[in-house]
């Protein structure tokens, strides 16, 4: 794993609207970087993310994400060939009781 700041610097600052990107580093902010890139990044940036952190580490972090929109979750599930049931955000969604229809 490359721990230089150059990886964070080439990502869009729009992904980190709520934090100061200058204070992020590859190791301590790994989960945030992976989550934001998966949610907002392009396919090219996702492949760069995999090259930087390694597929195993990216999959490990993605499985822990609390929320992914349904399209992103489906895409990631197919991209990494992982069943939906192994994602935390999918199992949390399944645990919520459905609302009553009125």
Q: What is the pLDDT of residues 52-88, one digit of tens each?
A: 999 999 999 998 888 888 898 889 989 999 888 878 7
92 within domain boundaries: no
Inside any domain, residue 72:
yes
- Tell me whether residue 34 is in a domain: yes
The residue range of the domain holding 50 is 6-87
What is the Cα gyration radius of the chain?
Answer: 15
Residue 101 in domain: no
Determine the average pLDDT of the residues in 40-46. Answer: 91
Residue 54: inside a domain, yes or no? yes
Domain annotation covers residue 24: yes
pLDDT of residue 96: 54
pLDDT confidence of residue 84: 84
Give mean pLDDT, residues 40-45: 91
Residue 32 or 93, more confident: 32
59 located within any domain: yes
Number of structural domains in the chain: 1
């Amino acid at each position: 794993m490359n721990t230089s700041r150059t990886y964070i610097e080439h990502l869009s600052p729009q992904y980190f609207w709520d934090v100061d990107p200058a204070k992020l580093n590859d190791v301590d902010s790994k989960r945030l970087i992976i989550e934001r890139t998966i949610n907002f990044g392009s396919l090219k940036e996702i492949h760069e993310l995999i090259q930087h952190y390694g597929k195993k580490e990216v999959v490990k972090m993605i499985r822990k994400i609390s929320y992914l929109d349904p399209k992103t979750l489906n895409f990631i599930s197919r991209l990494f060939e992982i069943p939906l049931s192994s994602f935390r955000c999918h199992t949390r969604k399944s645990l919520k009781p459905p609302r009553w229809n009125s």
